[in-house]
Structure 1
Amino acid sequence: MVTSTKVVTAHIPLDLADKVEAAALRLDRSRGWIMKQALAAWVDQDEARHRMTLEALDDVDSGRVIDQQAIRAWADSLTADAPLPPPTK
């Protein structure tokens, strides 16, 4: 199976380029492979962040929220000998 590709260029700071080069040497991979892995990981993370944001907005729109005061009380109790259980709706 042949995958179509596209060349994408970017100007990056020299210190970052040096780190990419060092990683490529350490892993015995090409700089292109390192950049492809890094970009794929970033895109995956960005897509997950976007999906979670949409899910959170849906929760708010549906009223599935926990009162801020309950969250604050729980968080403040975490350093106590007997912390409160996590708040639920």
Structure 2
Amino acid sequence: MVAETRTLTAQVPIELAQEVDALSELLERPRQWIIKKALVQFLAREAEKRRLIQEGLDDVSAGRMVSMEQARAWANSIGTDEERPVPKA
């Protein structure tokens, strides 16, 4: 089954368009294939970022936090002979 498509138009700097053209030639793929792949990856990364932010906000709302002092002490111990375990909420 073929998915419906819609054309999007975007102005991009010439240097970026030239990079897409060069990659298109190198990979022997059309420009639209490269742009579609890049857009899919960008949208997935942004969705994951929003999910992680929401997860953090949910932890704060539920009181699942460590103090700055605990976090700093752990971070400062990394790479030392007395490395501390990751603090738990």
Quick check: TM above 0.5? Answer: yes
Q: TM-score, normalised by structure 1?
A: 0.93
Aligned-residue sequence identity (percent) comes to 38
Superposed, which structure 2 residues align to 1:1-89 within 5 Å?
1-89=1-89
- Cα distance between partner residues in 2 of 1:34 and 1:12: 14
The number of equivalent residue pairs is: 89
- Cα distance between partner residues in 1 of 2:84 and 2:39: 41
- Cα distance between partner residues in 1 of 2:53 and 2:77: 28
TM-superposition CA deviations, 1:14-35 (whole Å, max 9, x none): 1111111111111110000000
Q: TM-score, normalised by structure 2?
A: 0.93
* Gap regions ≥5 residues in structure 1: none
1:82 to partner: Cα distance: 2.1
* Gap regions ≥5 residues in structure 2: none
List 4+ stretches of structure 1 deviating above 3 A.
none
Helix, strand or coil: the match of 1:81?
coil
